[in-house]
Chain A
Amino acid sequence: MTEAGGGAAVAGEVDDKRVEVFLGKMLRCGVLLAALVVSLGGVWFLVASHDVPQNYRTFHGEPADLRAVPQIVHQAISLQPLGLIQFGLLLLIATPVARVAFSVLGFALERDWMYVVVTLLVLALLVYTLTSRSGM
C-alpha cells in the first residue's frame, strides 16, 4: 500500500515536470512570436514616421483603437503599423494567461479540484482585466 502510494507520487512528479517543460517551451515560443510581430510593426512604423518629432512628455492616452482587444485585432488585420505593435504586445500579455489556463488543465488531470478552483479564479481575474469595459 505504502509502495503503491510512493510510486504514484513519483509518477505524478515526473508528469508535473514534463508538463512544466512543455509549458516553458510554449512560453518561450509565445514571447518570440510576440517579439517578431512587434519588430515587424516597429520597422514599418519607423519607415512611415521616422522624422516626426516624438513627444511622450505630456500624457494624452492612447486612442480607442489601441486600447481594447477587438479594436487592436482589427487594426492589426488592416495592417496598421501601430496596431500591429499593439497586437504583438497583446500576444505577450497573453503568454502568462495561457500558462495559467494550462495549469487549470494540469490540476484537473491530477484531480486536484481545490487547485482547479484556485487557478480558475486567477484566470477569471486576468480575463476580466483585459476585457472590462471601463479600464477601471
Chain B
Amino acid sequence: MAIGLLEGSYGPDGFRTCEVTGLKIHRSAEVPAKMFGLTAVVALILGGIAALLVALTRWEAVGLLQPTQFYKYLSLHAWNLLIFWMVFMEVAILYVGGPMVLGRKMPGSKLARLGWTVMVVSAVLIEYAIWTTTYPDQQPLLTSYAPLKSSPLFYLGVNTFILGTVVSALPFFACIWQEKNEHPGRTLPLVSFGAFVTGIIAVEALLGGLITYVPTFLWRIGVVGHIDASWYRQMYWIIGHGSQQINLAAMITVWYFMTHLTAGAEVVSEKVSRGAFILYLFFINLGAAHHLMADPAVSAGWRMWNTSYAMYGAVLASLIHAFAIPAGLEAGRRRRGLGGDSWFGWLKTAPWHDPGFSATALSIILFGFLGGITGVLMGQMQLNTMRHNTLAVPGHFHGTVAVGTTLAFMGLVYYVVRLLFRKEWVLDRLARLQPYLYGIAMSIAAMAMMEAGIVYGVPRRDPITTSIPGTSFSFSAASPMLEVLGIAASVAVLAGAIFVLVTVASLLFGEEAEARVPVPLAIERSDRSVHGFSMRGTLAMGLFFLVVFALFYGMDWMWLSRLWTFGT
C-alpha cells in the first residue's frame, strides 16, 4: 500500500504533465517529495498528541501531568512540531519549488533517500532520548540550554538530523545549478526563487546548528571540559531562530504558490517581490538576536543592531510580501473579471470553501496580526524585558508557526493529495471546515497565552503556576486565561486530527483525482498590464494593519514606561 502510494504513472522518459498546473513532473522528484510529505504528517500526529497533553496540563484546573511528565511531553511537542513536521515539509517544498516547477529531473535522488533515512533515524533517536531521559539528565525542551545536561543520545541525534537535512537539500541545489548552467539567461520562476532563498537561509541555520551541537555533544560526553552558557546561547540561536526563518521563507513561497493556484493570483512586480526575498537573504538571520535581548553578555549596540535585522531590513521585506501577495490576488482576479469593480469584491468571491485557499488566506491574515506584530514588539530590546520567558513568548510563536506556517502547510498538503497523489478528498465537508476551526481555535489559544504572559506575567515552561510551594504568591489571577488556553488548544488539536483524518482517508480511500483546473486559472486573462487593475482594496487593508500595529506598539511602550527604573 505504502509503496503503491508513492508510485504514479509516468511516460517512458519518467515525466508526466500535471493537467492542473501544467508543470512537468519527473518521478525522481515526485517520489521523494511524497516520502518527505508523508513523514511530516507522522510528526504532526505525534506532536499533536503531545500538544493536547501539554495544554491540558497548563489548564491548571485539569492539571493532567506531573512536572517530570510535563517536561517530557513539552520536549516531544517542540521537537515533533517545530522541527520534524516543519523540516520534512520544507525539504518536500524544495523538491516542489526546484525540479517540479522547473520541469527537470532531480539529480542525485539517491542522496534524497539517504538524507531521508538519516533524518528519520535521527528523529527516532531524539524521540527515544527524550522518552528515556532520567535524572540527573534533564529534558532538553527545544533549547537544551547548556550547562543543563540532557541525554548524550539527544545531542548525537540532533547532529545527525542536521547532517541528514543538509544531504537532503543537496539535490535541490544541484538542480538549480544545472538549470542555471543550461539556461544562464533564464530567470528562475518566483516560486523557485523563493525556494532557493529558503534553501540558502536553511544551510546557514544548519551550519550554525553543527557549530553549536558538535561541541555541545563533545562537552556532554566529557571530551570538552567546560561550556560557556553565553557562547551556547549565541550559537544555539543561529539554528534555533534560523530554523524559524526557514519556516517563514518557505511559508511565504507557499503563499505565492497557493494564492496563484487556488484563486488566480499573479505577481504584481517581480522586482519588488524578489527584492523582498533578497532582503530576507541578507538580514533575516540576524533575528537570532531576539533571544538575547535580556542577556548579560552582549552589548546594547550589538543587541539593537541585530534584533532590528540591521534597521528592520527583514521587517520591510515582510511588509512588502504582506502587500504584494494580496495585491497579486486582487489584480489577478480583477484581470480575470472575478468579483466586479468594488473595493473588496475580488476577496468576497474568492474560493473560501476551498481548504487550499482558506488555509492560505487565514495563514496570511493571522500570521500578520498575531505573529508579525508581536514579533516586532518582542524584538525591541526594552519591550522584550516585559515578555522574555513569559507565556507571551509561546503566544507569539504559535501566532507564527502554528496559525501561520502550519496552516499554510496544511493548505499545501490538501493540494499535494490532489496533485501529487492524485486522490480526490473524501469527507470534503470536514475539509472545508477544518482550516477555519484550526485557525480560529489556535488564534484564541495564542492570544490567551499572550495575555497570560504580558498581563499576569505567567512564566512559560512551568506546569503549575497557580500554587507555588513555600510562598503565598501565585499567578492564580491568570486562571481564566489558562482555561481559555486549555479549551482552545484542545479544539485546535481536534482540528489537527480532522486534517490528518481527511488527508489519510483521501490517500487510502479517495477516488482518482479528476484533472479539474481551479476556476480562476481556467479563465482567460485580459491583455491589459496588471497595473491597469486597481489594488486599492489591498492598500486599505494594509493601512488598517499598520494602524493596529502602531496602536499595539504605542500601548506596549506606555506600559513599559510605567515600570520601575532600571538599566544604565
Is A bound to B?
no
- Residue positions of A touching B, CB distance < 8 A: none
- Residue positions of B touching A, CB distance < 8 A: none
